[in-house]
Structure 1
């Protein structure tokens, strides 16, 4: 079964959650220190993160943002704050699911199972090609002339969108709305960072000047 990392500041809840997940076969990791917790999570190489929003030192939003910039690890936000804004913020920052305390344990287990299957047990190969580049959506891999590079979730989504609409300029707002449904809570720099990283990854397989910036208009391939 998968390894799950728990970030929860309430010791009682953390222990109960760890025991519950262990009972159902999951390997659990948790930390009672929140200094350097992002590095601790990534170093542990867990398959899923259960992340509370209300935390000391750094809140769950900050941790989610930091992890998503460095990893595609699936994240389920767990919070006692029952607010549409909290859920929207979580999704915009790259969380894969959101559940509110007090939660039904069977629903939590079902959400965990669903996210893990969606992330690690994708269906058959689904590809799209344009201009000598092939994107394999089932493996999150871009290839060119026999060379491959693995892409992050957001990089796949951006490249897929641009390839579907190749030879057409897509505005920054159009891309952000497609990726995050709403750009109200998304820092404009988030898209720039993802575009820059995507370009660098494509360059590692010999693809240069593929993703074109149209100043003041948007991007195209």
Structure 2
């Protein structure tokens, strides 16, 4: 798997190149936002590791540019810890967010998850987690071989999460996908529908293993 690292910290890039290469990844690197876009177009990476605070073009501008032509997973690796920065990057099209400093084991785990998501997106449109099978083509859900009835809103929420397995999906994104406007106020609707999905699909709804809440940010489907 080819990884593009876009970061203006040469020491971090050097350390990541050594570590990722040792784990079998091919690494290319860009020192600024403009170079990252050009290198992505030239090399077509499988995953992009992206800092937000880069010269020439910042990370959010790079994400928006990349999303114009590629669906390659984007993992933001940034020192910005505020929830507003995270939400802005995720809503621009990033798939996940790790704050600096980070543990290399966590970074590798996130990369593996994004790799699985990329593989799932290119495979047949069936997503499985636990004893649940979600068929995105027939719009059907089975649990332990038995058909599960979902309301239209429950299905739209599950479908969007299933099309982005392993990725953090913000509340704003789900509100826009389900109700058609990111300006819709979340008055507990998302929590309600997520609770209903967990009751229908999780072995222990009170301690979910797959339909996870990212506090203050959104939801993630772990497959």
TM tier, shorter chain? 0.5 to 0.7
- Structure 2, unaligned stretches of length 5 or more? 126-134, 140-155, 161-171, 184-223
- Residue of structure 2 equivalent to 1:70: 69
- Residue of structure 2 equivalent to 1:194: none
Shift of residue 121, structure 1, vs aligned partner: 3.4
Structure 2 CA distance for partners of 1:35 and 1:120, relative to 1, 3 Å: same
- Residue of structure 1 equivalent to 2:17: 18
What TM-score do the two structures reach when normalised by structure 2? 0.57
Contact residue 33 and residue 58 of structure 2 kept, 8 A: no
- Residue of structure 1 equivalent to 2:137: 128
- Residue of structure 2 equivalent to 1:164: none
Structure 2 CA distance for partners of 1:120 and 1:102, relative to 1, 3 Å: same
Q: How many residues align?
A: 144
What TM-score do the two structures reach when normalised by structure 1? 0.58
Cα deviations by residue, 1:89-118 (Å, 9 ceiling, x for unpaired): 111011110000000110000001001101
Establish whether residue 103 from structure 1 lines up as the match of residue 112 from structure 2: no
Root-mean-square deviation over aligned CA pairs: 3.0
Shift of residue 36, structure 1, vs aligned partner: 4.3
- Residue of structure 2 equivalent to 1:3: 2
Q: Tell me, what secondary structure is at the counterpart of 1:128?
A: coil
Contact residue 32 and residue 54 of structure 2 kept, 8 A: no
Shift of residue 179, structure 1, vs aligned partner: 7.1
* Structure 1 residues 1-221: aligned runs within 5 Å: 2-32=1-31, 34-121=33-120, 124-125=124-125, 126-128=135-137, 177-178=176-177, 183=182
Structure 2 CA distance for partners of 1:181 and 1:94, relative to 1, 3 Å: farther
Q: In 1, distance between residues paired with 2:50 and 2:26?
A: 16
Structure 2 CA distance for partners of 1:102 and 1:174, relative to 1, 3 Å: closer
Structure 2 CA distance for partners of 1:174 and 1:69, relative to 1, 3 Å: closer
